[in-house]
Amino acid sequence: MKRRNGMLRLALAACLLALAALTGGCAGGDADRTVVVLGPWTGPEGAAFEAALARLSDRSGHSYVYKGTRSLRETLVAQLEAGAPPDVAILNSIGELTEYAADGKLQPLSQKAAERGYPPWSPTLTLDGRRRTYWVPLRVNLKSLVWSKRGTPAKAPDWCVGLAAEATSGWPGTDWIEDILLHQAGPDTYTRWATGRLDWKKDPAVRRAFTTWAGILGPRSPESVERSLTMSFEGTPAPADPSGARRGLLGGSLPGCTHEHQGSFIRYLYPGAAGDALRVEPAARFLHGQAAYKGAYEVSGDMAAVLTDNPAAQELVTLLTSEGGRASWSRAAPEQLRPFFPDASDPQPDDPTGQTVASYLTRDADTLCFDASDVMPPVLRDAFYRAVLTYFQDPRTRTLDTLLGQLETVRSQIAGTPSGRSGQPRTPDDICAPPGG
């Protein structure tokens, strides 16, 4: 049965990837020596990761098949329902990972793989009476950043806002709310809110974060609002670039805007410009926060989890998080796509902007807190995305009252609904931690 399931998984991978070579190899190969990896990276990012996997394959003797998709959740759910999950899935949502673990879909990581499970990206879970690690970060990013055009005044920024995305529109807006709440109310309140222990409607910190965001952005015309709601956070393709590469919101997609609140990963949109035409700085001074919390930063991550009992999958996670594995990935990626890692001893980008970001991720921040919406259960996270889009379009008090009431209803329903093999999965509460691995 084990071999049959392995063959089914490989057959599904073959269909997804349309690789004739893989299809031909299914009949004679050992399924346990082939590891299927599902992840979020496509295009140049996906190519760099595949190149790193190829190098690791030479070292391990295993074959690694990578499938990158922007519709990660939908693809993974379909594969789980088909009974043919990938061996390894790379996800950025602690909320989703917690649900999969509680439903018995994830394998606890081996001790060796779990050793690189750094907080706040890899909190442990208590399931079936045992506290274990179920995922580890492969790469990380800093989110509490503001990018701006050099020479533009900081006192009255014209904010670039693009809220659309292919799969989950709205998250650039929730990033704003999360960052504001972190800097106004601090890591303890932020943690209680992200982990479902704070009332959305009654707690003033949540309302203040929304209204502060509206105040920071200032009045916007109906045309500007519509443009932001339909504009991708990546901007539009550069007119003179036949490849269709995006040019970013500061690169001309939204003429006239001068500042952008966005994470470190978008430096790929501005190759060669960051540090020259663009300035990157901590977001704290723009957020009307408290001085005591200016050293707090919101972060995100792409975490690897094992979904099958294929021992080669555990070995791959260990390899990917090893010093050699991270060095291979860094060398395989173009400069603007070199990943950030949570340990200062790991290879980091060597461009000036990358070095600045890495210093906060690994050393100079006081506290790193994981992206709040990615900590929340998916149903609440998705409701949060929709609420932000609605509020951006209509920031009146009565609209906010309605939205916060709806979000509180979702939160309270989740809190009272048991699910999973161990009952209601408890969201990990250790989502804030000092930097440094």
- In which region does residue 151 sit, left (phi positive, over 0), alpha (psi from -120 to 50) or beta (all else)? left
Where are the chain's structural domains?
2-140+301-344, 142-297+369-415
CA distance 75 to 55: 26
Strands (E) in 201-331, as ranges, are: 259-261, 278-282, 296-306
CA distance 204 to 382: 22
Q: What does the pLDDT read at residue 247?
A: 84
**Amino acid, single-letter form, for residue 291:** A
pLDDT in tens, 8-59: 444 444 444 433 333 333 333 455 679 999 999 998 899 999 999 999 999 9
Among 24-28, 154-158, 206-210, 311-315, whose mean pLDDT is lowest?
Answer: 24-28
387 within 8 A of 64, measured Cβ to Cβ: no
CA distance 108 to 353: 36
State the pLDDT confidence band at 259, using cuts at 50, 70 and 90.
very high
CA distance 183 to 199: 19
Question: Looking at the domain that runs over 142-297+369-415, which CATH code has it been given?
Answer: 3.40.190.10
Q: Supply φ then ψ for residue 321, to 5 degrees.
A: -95, 0
Q: Rounded mean pLDDT of the chain?
A: 88
| DSSP string of 195-228, one letter each residue | TT-S-TTT-HHHHHHHHHHHHHH----HHHHHHH
| Per-residue CA distances from 119 to 133, 288, 425 (Å) | 11, 27, 19
Question: For 233-247, b where at least 16 C-beta lie within 10 A, e where not — what string?
Answer: bbbbebeeeeeebbb
pLDDT at residue 7 is higher than 90: no
303 within 8 A of 368, measured Cβ to Cβ: no
pLDDT at residue 230 is higher than 70: yes
pLDDT in tens, 169-217: 999 999 999 999 999 999 999 999 999 999 999 999 999 999 999 999 9
Mean pLDDT of all residues in 96-121: 94
- Tell me, which fold does domain 2-140+301-344 have in CATH? D-Maltodextrin-Binding Protein; domain 2 (3.40.190)
User: What is this structure's pTM?
Assistant: 0.90
Q: Which of 7, 72, 74 is nearest to 34 (CA)?
A: 7
Q: Which of 95, 232, 85, 263 is nearest to 169 (CA)?
A: 232
Q: What does the pLDDT read at residue 289?
A: 97
Proportion of the chain above pLDDT 70, given as a percent: 88
Proportion of the chain above pLDDT 90, given as a percent: 73
Check if 2-140+301-344 and 142-297+369-415 are the same fold. yes
Q: How far is CA 111 from the centre of its chain?
A: 25
Mean pLDDT of all residues in 219-235: 94
Instruction: Report the chain's C-alpha Rg in angstroms.
Output: 22
